[in-house]
Chain A
């Protein structure tokens, strides 16, 4: 695997060169440093400015090696390994005194202005500079004057800057500008006073800014959220996780200690996230520590212990008037457990409350296996539909790489997008016109394989259905990669085959059923109009977050967060990945000396609750109370065997959804789009930080704009807009302008869409208010 660029390319190892006599295999196109890093667990050549995703720069001059020419006539010369193309039988030396001396000299020069604040630096223990300085053997400083100082900047709630530690390797700015396309961060000054930062203090605007903490080889950019709950890196217990905040399923490395989750770092999956993680993935985990995260079960508003609530719930289930609702953001086993319970109780079950969402999920599941995100740059033609960069913020990294490799990117969108600068074709359209435009694009008869990247939150099932049915006529290798914010949508869609959502609603409407048991999904948040029309239905919730109906629910059972339990998640490719339990929340044991005053909460001594039960444990407890445990377990095992031909382990590449399962979902019809005959059309506005769970992450969520209705500039002078739902309910929202969005489109957040019972593409008559 070659490691150059944002996406590794496949190639075969064939030839070798020699470093200190050791044969190092390489692939054509690799430089010496890349080959050494790929071959040796710990590189014997120190380096700074080289980064596998950023490539070579040659600025730090740390990776010198001595080249002995083959002819034996010319003297050996010192060359930077990162700039030296690997070639056959190259004879390189690192172990000689003068090469060592060069490495030591560069370390000495880099440390000239680097402060000796390692004891209080968050990077300590995982610092590349520390490692390289120790490795190169530099210890004593001859330069006596004071060290250079800078005024560091406030860069928002996620990233902390300490510019005095900078060694000017240029990695940060190369990542931020060249790869992430950010424009609010750059390099200023010259000589030994180079400054990396913003024009002025303020939050970094890129949704990938958190990667600076990992790209920076020392402690200039560190994770500010980790800092709040800091424990030295070697005290953290790191596990193999998968990000639960969108459909890509990026691999993560959660770090936890003493019963608390403290940080998330990216863990390379060559097909999904070769190098980077978005800020939602990095900071969204903080919902587990949200002040309003439910930890107490309640019955009709009265706090009760979990067993008492389970008793009441079991009694209610025994009446046989309960419908079951699963969730596309909950893991596979939790859904299976609830589904098995529904089957045992012979009750209706749906994973989606909205038939429209269910139809989309069915179409997504029916797609032939979508290409992995890291394959995006291999396509020469890419059509992007909707706001994919808001849904899955790492995608622009791949699209940028594709554009660098010469891909023609076409963009169909309603909202402003940072991808416009990459696109050779860019159309601003109301959501309802996206399908026609996509159809026109397909009609151009492309001869090479192409890729459709679809933000399925902006479009309806009919678009997916029509495009999917065409796939067989496309050039071989073409595909559709859908993106959405649920982490396990295919894993919940197995039960969508029969239009369960519609039947579940019908069952509730016709009065046979009067109770919903919902796991990780709140019907009120899905469809406000339906909720308002069904006042006599009781709702019981099992959830890890405080949803809209939590306080008013009949029964409410808090459950463990995804990071507090192991699980299996199907990503948008249909790749099943295993997540290890990141931590177990525990009451922190500390011996406190009373003479020192009250327990210092701010110092990290906040009491943590004991572990909450997982949804599977709750379902198991219910099955026991209903005395159907054996049958429930048998059903669980049966469905599991049916779905899982092979079970992945945490850290594996993942197991794909069997093709014959996908084939079962290839139905021949899709619900027709709703008629839109009105002037203004509705679009979904979303911020990159937005996702049901991540919304509870305080630091990340503080960057999201407040709820508003967004229109193109100069469209209307009103300051507010009132929108009316079909049932007469209204919502008044402040009106804000957003440059570069489609005219006569009103973009509102998902919560408002759900309250009003609207979908992207619907027509509406807004009432303009001053």
Chain B
């Protein structure tokens, strides 16, 4: 049994190939799942300790249980593969490298949840990956794998037209319905009234891809793949100024230092890592003194950061942290859906303040304004976009306050002078 259940076929020439996947143990998990009742299956997933891999880390089994087995029909299942989080590219790797695995996971979930219609929502830029998935789907369908006890699963591929907000679990439903992808008011929760006002479950593609491994290996083996208090296996990604940026399947709970320095090869020559956003751009900075923290949900929360998607963005000592914060804030200001006032108007306000400081035109009170405004935007906004946008900014404003203040004091960016 592979301890790399997610990435075992990443190197295969044709990961959509059903036979190759079966040879590696594929669809054994589904076969086991189909012999269980939905209630038992949900209990098993809950017991496994699998937590949602989209960033929030909500226990998958609990999410399923709370939807209720008696939810009115039709019920829907949505696979969220709208991976737009800066710094995260694990779902892309899965889509291109393990489409059968995502599909198998969706079939297991469909059986557990009594769903007859499922949708995989794929980021528009991953159109080529959607074709890979379509091939995998066609092969599985031809082999009769979509025929579940409750009937044949209708699985549609929905290619996103592309906004960050489409990854929000209620905005994704609006997008699928052909509406404007604004987040929805909760309650009602999407588990009660989701897609077309019917009970809906939305899970990240990595969460689905984890399911075959759990069933195939059993809960105890699955849990033993994790270390340092983590459970299972996890796809981490690293990008930024390191030797070997990429996707790494490692035990959940691998210390951040090991990920950065061993697997990603450490910083470029002559540089040092100043900080890392550990779970995509919407997580607070982790500083070198915390690099020994195991990368799992609880440990990261303990040091005031988040595991998020496990997509690390590295900031080294030769790059201006203010420039880094401008890049993330600009992204979120651009990707705000325009629905709620604090996010729509507040993020461009912050961006203007940051750019003003970067141009050397800032004043010290602008730094305070960024902090006060940022603290007011986050709790008042409608969905998690603005709070996510503010996590790197607000933590960065504390950690790099001296560097940012230097822009004001010197009237220019100190890094430009030093490093060009």
From known contacts A58-B382, A78-B379, A83-B185, infer whether A109 and B342 are also in contact, taking CB-CB under 8 Å.
Answer: yes
Contact residues of A: prevailing secondary structure: loop
B340, B344, B345, B380: the one within 8 Å of A102 (CB): B380
C-beta contact mask, A165-197 vs B, less than 8 Å → 1, else 0? 001101000000000000000010111111000
Residue from the set A102, A109, A142, A189 with the largest chain B CB neighbour count within 10 Å: A109
Q: Quick check: A59 and B333 within 8 Å, CB to CB?
A: no
Size category of the B interface is 20 to 34
A126 contacts the other chain (CB 8 A): no
- Nearest Cβ in chain B — how far from A684, in angstroms? 37
Q: Quick check: A61 and B340 within 8 Å, CB to CB?
A: yes
- Nearest Cβ in chain A — how far from B374, in angstroms? 12
C-beta contact mask, A119-154 vs B, less than 8 Å → 1, else 0? 000000000000000000000001111000000000
What is the chain A residue whose CB lies nearest that of B349? A143
What is the chain B residue whose CB lies nearest that of A113? B345
B120 contacts the other chain (CB 8 A): no
From known contacts A110-B345, A187-B180, infer whether A192 and B340 are also in contact, taking CB-CB under 8 Å.
Answer: no
A112 contacts the other chain (CB 8 A): yes
From known contacts A109-B349, A187-B180, A192-B345, infer whether A58 and B338 are also in contact, taking CB-CB under 8 Å.
Answer: no
**Which A residues touch B341, using CB under 8 A?**
59-62, 106, 109-110, 167-168
C-beta contact mask, A74-100 vs B, less than 8 Å → 1, else 0? 000010000100000000000000000
- Nearest Cβ in chain A — how far from B173, in angstroms? 17
- Nearest Cβ in chain A — how far from B288, in angstroms? 33
Please provide the chain B residues from 161 to 186 with a CB less than 8 Å away from any CB of chain A in the complex.
Answer: 163, 165, 180, 185
**Which A residues touch B344, using CB under 8 A?**
109, 168, 191-192, 194
Q: Quick check: B334 and A142 within 8 Å, CB to CB?
A: no
From known contacts A58-B382, A61-B380, A102-B376, infer whether A112 and B185 are also in contact, taking CB-CB under 8 Å.
Answer: no
B185, B340, B369: the one within 8 Å of A60 (CB): B340
| Alpha-carbon distance between A200 and B383 when the two chains are bound, in angstroms | 32
| Alpha-carbon distance between A78 and B382 when the two chains are bound, in angstroms | 12
**Which B residues touch A101, using CB under 8 A?**
376
**Which A residues touch B381, using CB under 8 A?**
61
A105 contacts the other chain (CB 8 A): yes
A57 contacts the other chain (CB 8 A): yes
C-beta contact mask, B296-316 vs A, less than 8 Å → 1, else 0? 000000000000000000000
- Nearest Cβ in chain A — how far from B199, in angstroms? 19
**Which B residues touch A191, using CB under 8 A?**
333-338, 344, 348
B346 contacts the other chain (CB 8 A): yes
A56 contacts the other chain (CB 8 A): yes
B324 contacts the other chain (CB 8 A): no
C-beta contact mask, A206-228 vs B, less than 8 Å → 1, else 0? 00000000000000000000000
A64 contacts the other chain (CB 8 A): yes
B180, B338, B373: the one within 8 Å of A192 (CB): B338
B339 contacts the other chain (CB 8 A): yes
C-beta contact mask, A249-286 vs B, less than 8 Å → 1, else 0? 00000000000000000000000000000000000000
B400 contacts the other chain (CB 8 A): no
| Alpha-carbon distance between A167 and B380 when the two chains are bound, in angstroms | 17
Residue from the set A62, A83, A112, A191 with the largest chain B CB neighbour count within 10 Å: A191
What is the chain A residue whose CB lies nearest that of B181? A190
Q: Quick check: A61 and B382 within 8 Å, CB to CB?
A: yes
Residue from the set B163, B345, B348 with the largest chain A CB neighbour count within 10 Å: B345
C-beta contact mask, A580-608 vs B, less than 8 Å → 1, else 0? 00000000000000000000000000000
| Alpha-carbon distance between A167 and B338 when the two chains are bound, in angstroms | 10
9 shortest interchain CB distances as A-B pairs: A109-B345, A194-B338, A191-B336, A190-B338, A112-B345, A61-B380, A61-B341, A59-B340, A192-B344
- Given A110-B341, A192-B333: 5 more A-B contacts, CB < 8 Å: A57-B185, A60-B340, A168-B338, A168-B344, A187-B180
Return 15 A-B CB contacts under 8 Å, by A number.
Answer: A56-B185, A57-B185, A58-B340, A59-B339, A59-B341, A78-B380, A83-B185, A101-B376, A102-B380, A109-B342, A112-B348, A144-B352, A191-B333, A191-B338, A192-B336
A residues contacting B by CB (< 8 A) are 56-62, 64, 78, 83, 101-102, 105-106, 109-110, 112-113, 142-145, 167-168, 170, 187, 189-194
